[in-house]
Structure 1
Amino acid sequence: MPYANVNGQTIFFEDTGGSAPAVIFSHGFLLDHEMFAAQVEALGSQFRCVAFDQRGFGRTMANGAPFTYWDSAQDLLGLMRHLEIERATLVGLSQGGFLSMRAALMAPGHVNGLVLISTRAGLDTEEQNNNFRLLDKEWSQNGSANAQQMLSKLLIADDRYAPAWVDKWRSMGKDRLTLPINALISRDDLTPRLGEISVPTLVIHGTDDIAIDVSHGRQLAAGIANAELVEIQGAGHAPPMTHAAESNHALLRFLRGLANAA
């Protein structure tokens, strides 16, 4: 199986390979690389697609030490070095967007463009953070059993796709969420640094996202100088899965524009 030992982690990834322009996909909280299956299928003949599992999710286990999204951004950059990818377009959903923005701030010379989906630069409210703490406590005691209905509504919002993820959550250990939740609630506010992001950026956000309201996507697009916003009507938090055709259309148009400008 494809694993990379980078930044003190053993990272699971899938790579379509080849010499085409690289696109690296970073998934959202409680998801994994498989959430981008429709994008890899649509783009794989034209782009080198890399999708990986972040610390604590999918087949990547956290190494037991606390981490931040800056550390996760280093994981992504380390994976690029491991795969000998000099430059890539970074596609991140939710927490995948958190780390993709940080990677772009840390290593702008290695980033061709950003696609930020269902994400934000700012922080959650204290009430939201307390809800994450309660989720951590509940999960550590009972696993996903009492939380999966709420989580599927919040993160997936589509009964066609939710059962597969509920099955994944059932198989996760009771100790798997503490470190990722700590990273989530302790992250720093990137809003003051959005002006430092100069690469072309596409912001995709569903109008019915109840996890991260579409207003945050609008703020991202307004704060990044070279950004455009695509709102997907009726989509919740995971449009690459639930609204794959609309997401792929916007993504392909953006990526082809980057390739033509190179």
Structure 2
Amino acid sequence: MTSPQTISVPHLGGSTIGYATSGPVDASRPTLVMVNSFTTSADLYRPQFADEELARTANLLAIEPYGHGRTRARYADFTYWDTAIAALQVLDARDVRRAFVLGTSQGGWIAVRMALLAPDVVQGVVALGTSMDSESPRSRELGCWDGVTFCTPAIDALATPVGDDWVIPTDLVDAVLAEGLGDQVDEETRAFWHATHQQHYTGDDGRRRLRTSTINLRDRDGLHGRLDEVRCPVLWLHGTEDRVYSVANAQDEIGRFTSSPHAELQVVDGGQHFLSASDPAAVDAATVEFVRRWG
């Protein structure tokens, strides 16, 4: 994994997009774009960058969504569609004409948005612990979390401007880690993400980006009416211990990719919501096989 970098794209009045790579693009290999989960950064994919077989299979490029990591925009408001557009502009700027896209949680629905916007670019989607719905009653009836209840207190608490010395509260970071990695988060991992979050969410700009990201999570549009327009192969991996989105939801939604040449769900026993972090061996092996098959 290279040191974090940024690149300029024109979207949202001009944006600086944070990213990390496995090194220079090798045109002889496919490219795998990776999009991180809520409030995390490209660092979420440290296990993937460390996987030698995955790195031999594809050029790795982790892109940080709006509101996350080092990504900044001239305009203050953004949605998941904006991140999908900006990520495609990053590929264009780096002269990557085709790519697979892997996304964890929110990264999964960003990946599908990229496939919808640029079917000639996206060769395949690897979706991890995600959902294609809004935070709907249907979703909750299938055993998914109540995202409205989770997000609304944070949105309310982040409504008031703050000073330059503000940093994201660690109790909010811990709440995200509990949903993403379960209750048994080791102290090294917890300390890493405390420090990383407090690096990226500081001052009033950090408060605003965090609040908008949380609003987007709670209030996003669902993709059910568009999934039959996805024409690339889709591999969906979902952990049995995912406490945000259920296996039952994944089983229903994988069947909605009716125009995909191949849409498959693989259930990972014991896997958590941030599946790329909790079960990297299973994720990496399945991704290598998928990229080699469809690349």
Q: Above 0.5 in TM-score?
A: yes
Alignment of 1:142-157 (within 5 A): 143-157=168-182
| Per-residue deviation, residues 178-226 of structure 1 (Å, max 9, x unmatched) | 1212222332110121111121110011111112222222223211132
Structure 1: unaligned runs, 5 residues or longer: none
Alignment of 1:26-41 (within 5 A): 26-41=35-50
Cα deviation for residue 133 of structure 1 reads 2.3
What is the aligned partner in structure 1 of residue 263 from structure 2?
A: 227
What is the aligned partner in structure 2 of residue 2 from structure 1?
A: 5
Cα deviation for residue 140 of structure 1 reads 5.8
Q: Hey, what's the Cα distance between the residues in 1 that align with 2:283 and 2:36? A: 15
What is the aligned partner in structure 1 of residue 272 from structure 2?
A: 236
What is the aligned partner in structure 2 of residue 194 from structure 1?
A: 227
| Per-residue deviation, residues 125-179 of structure 1 (Å, max 9, x unmatched) | 4852243121123356783233233221112224133332122223422333112
How many pairs align?
Answer: 259
| Per-residue deviation, residues 40-71 of structure 1 (Å, max 9, x unmatched) | 23211221111121112112234442111111
Cα deviation for residue 93 of structure 1 reads 1.0
1:189 is paired with a residue of what secondary structure? coil
Match of 1:18 among 22, 26, 37: 26
With 156-165 and 22-31 compared, the bigger mean Cα shift is at 156-165
Q: Is the 8 A contact 2:32 2:58 kept in 1?
A: yes
Q: Hey, what's the Cα distance between the residues in 1 that align with 2:86 and 2:252? A: 27
Q: Hey, what's the Cα distance between the residues in 2 that align with 1:214 and 1:144? A: 31
1:203 is paired with a residue of what secondary structure? strand
- Once superposed, which parts of structure 1, at least 4 consecutive aligned residues long, lie more than 6 Å away? none
1:180 is paired with a residue of what secondary structure? helix
Equivalent AA in structure 1 for residue 123 of structure 2: N
| Per-residue deviation, residues 93-137 of structure 1 (Å, max 9, x unmatched) | 111112111111111011110101111110114852243121123
| Per-residue deviation, residues 211-253 of structure 1 (Å, max 9, x unmatched) | 2222222223211132111111111111211111111111111
What is the aligned partner in structure 2 of residue 128 from structure 1?
A: 147
What is the aligned partner in structure 1 of residue 281 from structure 2?
A: 245
With 156-165 and 70-79 compared, the bigger mean Cα shift is at 156-165
Q: Hey, what's the Cα distance between the residues in 2 that align with 1:164 and 1:198? A: 38
Q: Hey, what's the Cα distance between the residues in 1 that align with 2:169 and 2:247? A: 27
Match of 1:108 among 114, 119, 140: 119
1:45 is paired with a residue of what secondary structure? helix
RMSD of equivalent CA atoms: 2.0
Q: Hey, what's the Cα distance between the residues in 1 that align with 2:79 and 2:103? A: 16
2:209 is paired with a residue of what secondary structure? coil
Normalising by structure 1, report the TM-score.
0.91
2:120 is paired with a residue of what secondary structure? helix
With 136-145 and 246-255 compared, the bigger mean Cα shift is at 136-145
Q: Is the 8 A contact 1:156 1:162 kept in 2?
A: no
Cα deviation for residue 80 of structure 1 reads 0.7
Q: Hey, what's the Cα distance between the residues in 1 that align with 2:251 and 2:74? A: 35
CA 63–180 in structure 1, closer or farther in 2 if over 3 Å, else same? farther
1:223 is paired with a residue of what secondary structure? coil
CA 190–131 in structure 1, closer or farther in 2 if over 3 Å, else same? same
